[in-house]
Structure formats: C-alpha cells, structure tokens
Structure 1
Amino acid sequence: MDYNGIEFLDGTSDDFPQVLVGDPYGLIAIGGNLKVSTLIKAYRQGLFPWFEDWSPIMWYSPPMRCIISNGNFKASKSLKQKINRKLFSVTADRDFANVLNRCATVEREDQNGTWIDERMASAYVSLHQAGYAHSIEVWSDGELAGGLYGVSLGRAFFGESMFHQKKDASKVALYYLCNWLDSLGFSFVDAQIPTPHLLTLGGIEISRADYLKLLHQAMAYPDFTGSWTNAFNSYYDK
C-alpha cells in the first residue's frame, strides 16, 4: 500500500518500490522485516533501515547521499602522523559484536539514546554470520579504542556506524578501510547522510539519481563475502 509516496509493507514483505519517491527526508517504506535476504535486497536498491527503538522498521534513501569514492579519503596531517607512528593496531572482523555494541552504547553529542536497538543488532549479527557485514577494529594497548561496521555488496561498502573511545580512533578505522577497499577496486563507501565531519574526510554529496547509477554499476561485481580477517591482515602486513 502506498501513501504519499511511502510504501507500507507487511511483516513478510520485501517488495520495495522500484521508483523511489518517499518524503522530503528520504523515507521510502515502513514495515517489512530485517531478514538477511531483505537487508541485502534493500541495500542493492539504495535503501537502508533507520528507525528508533519505539518505531516500526523504516527504510530510507535520502535525496542527497554522502559517499567517499575510490581514492578520495582525506587524512589530515595529524591523522597521518598518528597512523605513521603506529599508535594503534587495526584488524578486520576480529570482534564484530563488540564493535556493534560499542556503536550502540557510546555517548554521542546531540543524541539521546541509540537507533541500534535489539532488532537492528540481531539483524546485523546475522548479516555478519552470513558473510556480508564486517567490522574494522582499532586497538590501543590491547583495548578496543574505536571501530566501525557496515555491509559489503559488489564493489560498494555501506557504512552503518562508527565509534571512538580514544581521539581519532574511528578516523583511523575509516582510513584503513578506505585504503584497503581502494586496493580491491571498490567504487565507494556509502556514508549515507552528509555531515560536515564526513565532508572533511573526503565525503561528497550526490543526488539520489546519481547515487543509484553508481550503485547499479557497483552491484554488477561479485560480492566479497566471508571473513575479511586474513585478507585484511595480509594486505597490511606485506
């Protein structure tokens, strides 16, 4: 059922609209489910879930999207110095559940509570177990200092959330992720909603129409599924 451009889905449906209209904020559909197959279909069509713990599942495709395209991550001079001094060690898929939990519970400015509720956490753990969701962990003295997680399909990585408990640790995670994905020929990292912070790191704003064109091209390639741990370590250990 469609109402003012927003599709209402029953709990078993993954029948997302082919033409994305939605409201001015990019809300495209309400309802459905968070099964692995549904999430994969949503990402391939340019949608992602985003909702509060008290609300039904909501699916968004913002009218303006933020991406970091291949080779365009911008590291500040101070960040490069930290990376070169090897103040942190960085891994992939070593502690996905912990990264997700930290993203859900870390205190953030101008934000009360979290949008990563039990439904979302369970869904992304299932995506990780299926080989599609991945984490980057940043360690300091054996403790998790920061990280991020997201979803990999084709030659696109869809960033979901990041956190830091030591200054710049999340930026280090994003630097290592982008550098590695660049080497694999990935087209872009989807950072979803444009923010001033992301724009300083090399993010650019593009329209939904342009995003969907890039997404279509990226989805033409095979998925890089399974654990990233060994491949990531091998790349950075060489």
Structure 2
Amino acid sequence: MNIESPAWLGNDPQAPFPPVSRALREPDGLLAAGGDLSPARLLDAYAHGIFPWYSEGQPILWWSPDPRMLFRSDGVRLSSRFRRGLRGSGWQACADTAFEAVIDACAGTPRPGQRGTWITPAMRAAYIELHRLGHAHSVEVFDGDRLVGGIYGVAIGRMFFGESMFSIASGGSKVALAALAHRLRQWGWPLIDAQVENDHLRRLGAEAWPRERFIATIGDLCGQPGVPGRWTERFGRLSASELAAPPTGG
C-alpha cells in the first residue's frame, strides 16, 4: 500500500519548504514535519501560507490547508444584538501591552474545532521571541484592569496571520477580532488569515478561499511595507462602543 507522508525538514532554518501544492489531502493541508521554530523558519512559513500546529510529544507539523479561511478586514460581522450591547460597554482594546498574557490565555482556553489552543511550551517561547523582534502582535480587551479577551498573530508586510483568540468574559474574543480588523482596515491591510474552517469563524464573516488564490494574494501583501516594532502607540486605544456601528468600508 502506498501511504502518502509529509516531507521531512532538516535543521537548516533557511532551507525552503516544499511547494504547498504537495500538501496532503488527508489530513487536509499537512505539508511537512520536523525543522524548528526559529524566527527565520516561522517568518518564511507564514510568507508562503504555511503555519505550525502540533501536540506535545509530536514532531513539529507544518500545514497549508485548502481551502484557507480568512477575514476581510472590512468583513468581520457582529450581530445587531451584540453591537447594541457594545454601545454602553466600557471595554477598551489596545495592542502589544500583554502579549504573554494573551498567548497564555489562548493556551488555557479550550474551544472545540480550533487548533490554536494547542500551544506547546516551545510554541509559546517561539512566538514570544517573534513578539520581541516586532513580528508577532496581540490585541487585548480590558474591562478596567481585567483582561477579558484577546487575539494574537504574526504580521508580515501588510498581511496579518491570526493564530488564536480567547474570551474570559462573553464576547471578549469578538471585540478583539473586531478591533484588530478596524485598525487594519484603517491602515490599508485587507486580510486576516484564520487558517482552518469552522462554523464559529463563518458566523463572524470568515470566507473560504482556494489555497492557490490565498497564496497568490499574500505573496503581494507580504512584500509591501508593514508596521515594524510594537503596535501599542500606533494602535492606540479603541473603545468597544466605537465598534457598535457596522463597518463602512467596502
């Protein structure tokens, strides 16, 4: 029996990944195994539409599913009822003020159907290093001094690759996602990668793109000028009540 298996990566973080067209159909998108989580390897992976996801005790597994789930930055949908609730909310969103707290909350918040909660110690350390280097960013939602929601991911050029989000209070992750999309739309960043399809993301407005279209699009966006370093000052503070109105972008 001929059983397909992913390519095995060596130790050189500069070595290229296999073409994403070689990713397996079952499990969908599994492309390669091994390698490391160095900044160079991670940035090369994201720029080519590849991301790591694996469980403790497994080798590092690299994925590029087809189709690919993503949000348009002007396409995050919040229900009318949820928006009405935001009008009187005192929640505030900011960026890169509590990256480690966000990644830890994502790791500790199980959500069926979402891969992002499987954050191993090695993954945690790798993304904290990317954050230190100015490539990984978080958006935090605070109720006073209490962190109630957040999202984190990797930015290359004008493309944001979402990794995981969490809620401690109901709706916290939705506000984090909406705040991120709001700012990215203002900066002229059109897309947020959401990796794999699930019903929750679809309800929030995510779209499924053929992988070939996704790869071609991010190739252009990743080559454009981005926002290097920490985003805290440029992002500023965004009140949840500002997100109550439907987006006006097209």
Q: TM-score range by the shorter chain?
A: over 0.9
- Aligned positions of 1:13-32 closer than 5 A: 13=13, 14-24=15-25, 25-32=28-35
Alpha-carbon spacing, 1:227–1:162, altered in 2? closer, same or farther (3 Å): same
The aligned residue for residue 172 of structure 1 is 175
- Quote the offset at 1:10 in angstroms: 1.7
Identity over aligned residues, as a percent? 35
- Could you tell me which runs of 5 or more consecutive residues in structure 1 were left unpaired when the two chains were aligned: none
Alpha-carbon spacing, 1:72–1:94, altered in 2? closer, same or farther (3 Å): same
1:111-160 per-residue CA deviation (whole Å, 9 max, x = no partner) reads: 89951010100000000000010001111131111111001111111000
- Aligned positions of 1:1-238 closer than 5 A: 4=4, 6-13=6-13, 14-24=15-25, 25-109=28-112, 114-233=117-236
- Quote the offset at 1:5 in angstroms: 6.4
- Quote the offset at 1:187 in angstroms: 2.0
- Could you tell me which runs of 5 or more consecutive residues in structure 2 were left unpaired when the two chains were aligned: 243-250
SS at match of 2:134: coil
Could you list the runs of 4 or more consecutive aligned residues of structure 1 that deviate by over 4 angstroms after TM superposition? Answer: 109-114
- Quote the offset at 1:70 in angstroms: 3.2
- CA contact under 8 A between 1:136 and 1:177: conserved in structure 2? yes
- Quote the offset at 1:4 in angstroms: 3.6
SS at match of 1:20: helix
* TM score, norm. by length of structure 2: 0.88
CA distance in 1, matches of 2:116, 2:215: 31
CA distance in 2, matches of 1:140, 1:214: 36
Q: Which amino acid aligns with 1:94?
A: T
CA distance in 2, matches of 1:113, 1:34: 16
Alpha-carbon spacing, 1:118–1:7, altered in 2? closer, same or farther (3 Å): same
- CA contact under 8 A between 1:4 and 1:22: conserved in structure 2? no
Alpha-carbon spacing, 1:190–1:111, altered in 2? closer, same or farther (3 Å): closer
- Quote the offset at 1:200 in angstroms: 1.1
Alpha-carbon spacing, 1:6–1:92, altered in 2? closer, same or farther (3 Å): same
The alignment covers a number of residue pairs equal to 235
- Quote the offset at 1:86 in angstroms: 2.7
CA distance in 1, matches of 2:117, 2:172: 20
Q: Which amino acid aligns with 2:89?
A: K
Root-mean-square deviation (CA, aligned residues, Å) is 2.2
